[in-house]
A and B are shown apart, each in its own frame.
Chain A
Amino acid sequence: AQSVAQPEDQVNVAEGNPLTVKCTYSVSGNPYLFWYVQYPNRGLQFLLKYITGDNLVKGSYGFEAEFNKSQTSFHLKKPSALVSDSALYFCAVRDNAGNNRKLIWGLGTSLAVNP
């Protein structure tokens, strides 16, 4: 079965420190992987995606994510966190096998960056 796991409900980091938000997935075919961010009282905004090619993907606002096929992971990272990065982060995967091409969403991780 297709699934996405974000093992941490909440991540706390100090401003200026590196941050990691974890995501693991399970699909039957090759994955298309996405990260979105949701600021308070807003819709989701696309951050970055992995489709194929280089395992390290760079996205908006200085975020990047590394696709690791052997560990079935797609962790979101940023070298130096900002207070303004505090938000909800969602990982999503789409399976390129079969006829079901819907996005499967993680439950979200709340990131708090402390000044």
Chain B
Amino acid sequence: EADIYQTPRYLVIGTGKKITLECSQTMGHDKMYWYQQDPGMELHLIHYSYGVNSTEKGDLSSESTVSRIRTEHFPLTLESARPSHTSQYLCASSGPGGWVTEAFFGQGTRLTVV
């Protein structure tokens, strides 16, 4: 099992609420990622980070924001949740070895906005 943790696993929240999805890894990895996964399986990269104080938007436009103040922590925040944000969110990290290294994934957070 990879040492990357996401909380909560499941979240049901009302429209307009602010939420933060937590992601932490204990492997000391510099690169971290957030993916959004459709019910139909497709993965979309929404944010990534190559290290502390480095964050970039991914391929899929997202209203969420991220921060990377510590190496091990990469939280994702939605200021005002909407039903269109309902999805599964997967956090991942990858370590040294350049671009040949594989990513380790958390178990995901399934978000439902009602």
Q: A-side interface residues toward B, CB under 8 Å? A: 32, 34, 36, 41-46, 49, 51, 88, 90, 94, 96, 101-103, 105, 107-108, 110
Determine the main DSSP class of A at the interface with B. strand
Whether the Cβ atoms of A46 and B102 lie closer than 8 Å is: yes
Closest to A34 in B: B102
> Contacts A42-B107, A44-B90; is A90 near B43 (CB within 8 Å)?
yes
> Contacts A42-B108, A43-B106, A45-B105; is A105 near B99 (CB within 8 Å)?
no
Q: B-side interface residues toward A, CB under 8 Å? A: 2, 6, 41-43, 45, 48, 58-59, 90, 92, 99-100, 102-108, 110
> Contacts A107-B41, A108-B42; is A43 near B99 (CB within 8 Å)?
no
- Enumerate the 3 nearest inter-chain pairs by beta-carbon distance, A residue then B residue, closest first: A43-B105, A108-B41, A46-B102
A103 to B110, CA, bound (A): 23
